[in-house]
Amino acid sequence: MKLIIDQSLEHEDVEITIKCRLIDADLEKLIAQIRLYGFSITGKKDGASYPLRPEDIYYFESIDDKTFAYCEKDVYECSLRLYELEQQFAQADFVRISKSCILNIMKLSSVRALINGRFEAKLDNGEKLIINRHYVQGFKQKFDF
């Protein structure tokens, strides 16, 4: 792979061109990350709105028909439904781990098997989430388990 960077004050916007013979799984992942560059979703907390970058979000959770984005220390309410977030981040590092939760695998510090085919995910901030057995296969594929 060859990487060429042309930095100049004459360029008004960032332009990325990918030249390849075939798009493989690794390149598909890179393209998904590039598409998220500069992308944010809006989170609300204490009556104020905040732009949330995907790389700052640990997981999304749906509780009582409300969706929340959990970051390292703060929790924000999102206007998007869980299925909309799942579609939006399908090619990125997010994976559905239960009926009510989508995990950012880049914030994962460890995974361990539990009884009944479930897994426990420990996040970088110390939180633990359960990966429901119905979602383990999708998690393994995304995590390259």
Show the domains of the chain with their CATH numbers. Answer: 40-143 (2.40.50.1020)
Task: Name which residue leads in pLDDT, 112 or 88.
Answer: 112
Instruction: Name the band, by pLDDT with cuts 50, 70 and 90, for residue 25.
Output: confident
**pLDDT recorded at residue 7:** 86
**pLDDT surpasses 80 at 102:** yes
Stretch 10-31: mean pLDDT, rounded?
Answer: 84
Stretch 110-128: mean pLDDT, rounded?
Answer: 93
91 φψ region: left (φ > 0), alpha (ψ -120 to 50), beta (else): alpha
Percent of the chain scoring above 70 in pLDDT: 96
Q: What is the pLDDT of residues 48-94, one digit of tens each?
A: 999 998 889 999 999 999 999 999 989 999 999 999 998 888 778 89
